[in-house]
């Protein structure tokens, strides 16, 4: 797929009070070492692919805060994907040298559909939503790899500041570059629906 808009960016969308509340929810939920699907197939953690701490929550405040951005972007960007469920929300904490290498959040086809879970079964991740919750760090940039029909892959780095919210299709490869200084906090939400036909 080659959509006209690879992402939709809301500048300065989350006020400080909302960012602080999200971080408070994460502290209450508790952080743990992030694991990938690849990690679950091994006994040890592969920090070369992903190194960060995460907390998960289904606190209603998180959905009330982030869902309007997803619905707005889905409409304005012209994707108009059929979305009908949201997974538990992830709050990530990246310290010095921590990162998340190239990955997609979902493949969107029938083979990628969840096989279990009352509200997940048969659904795929279609849209990802990320917001930056902190500043004062160096590095940790979000990069998207776009495959265009008329050229090779293009890596873009949307300029994101604290409080910005970005929404993009979950099949787009992306990464968070290593933190060089300070600590970065971000929140991510995955939006589900039936596989593409």
CATH of the domain at 168: 2.60.120.620
pLDDT given for residue 165 in this prediction: 98
Domain assignment present for residue 163? The answer is yes
Domain assignment present for residue 44? The answer is no
Domain assignment present for residue 38? The answer is no
Domain assignment present for residue 20? The answer is yes
Count of domains in the chain? 1
Closest CA to 142 of 167, 124, 125: 167
Split the chain (197 residues) into runs of 10 and give each run's mean pLDDT: 82 98 98 74 69 97 98 97 97 97 91 91 96 97 86 88 98 97 98 93
Assess contact for 36 and 52: CB atoms under 8 A: no
Domain membership of residue 168 as a residue range = 8-32+52-193
Assess contact for 125 and 189: CB atoms under 8 A: no
pLDDT given for residue 44 in this prediction: 58
Domain assignment present for residue 115? The answer is yes
Nearest-angstrom CA–CA distance, 168 and 182: 26
pLDDT given for residue 148 in this prediction: 72
pLDDT given for residue 41 in this prediction: 52
Closest CA to 193 of 125, 129, 128: 125
pLDDT given for residue 88 in this prediction: 97
């Amino acid at each position: 797929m080659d959509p006209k808009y690879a992402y939709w960016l809301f500048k300065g969308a989350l006020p400080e009070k909302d960012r602080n509340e999200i971080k408070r929810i994460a502290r209450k939920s508790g952080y743990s070492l992030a694991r990938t699907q690849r990690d679950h197939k091994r006994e040890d953690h592969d920090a070369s692919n992903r190194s960060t701490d995460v907390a998960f929550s289904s606190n209603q405040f998180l959905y009330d805060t982030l869902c309007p951005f997803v619905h707005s972007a889905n409409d304005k960007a012209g994707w108009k994907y059929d979305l009908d469920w949201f997974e538990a929300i992830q709050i990530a904490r990246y310290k010095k040298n921590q990162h998340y290498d190239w990955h997609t959040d979902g493949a969107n086809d029938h083979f990628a559909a969840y096989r279990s879970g009352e509200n997940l079964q048969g659904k795929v991740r279609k849209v990802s939503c990320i917001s930056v919750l902190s500043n004062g760090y160096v590095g940790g940039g979000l990069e998207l790899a776009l495959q265009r029909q008329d050229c090779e892959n293009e890596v873009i780095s949307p300029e994101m500041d604290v409080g910005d919210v970005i929404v993009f299709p979950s099949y787009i490869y992306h990464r968070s570059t290593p933190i060089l200084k300070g600590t970065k906090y971000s929140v991510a939400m995955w939006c589900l629906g039936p596989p593409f036909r």
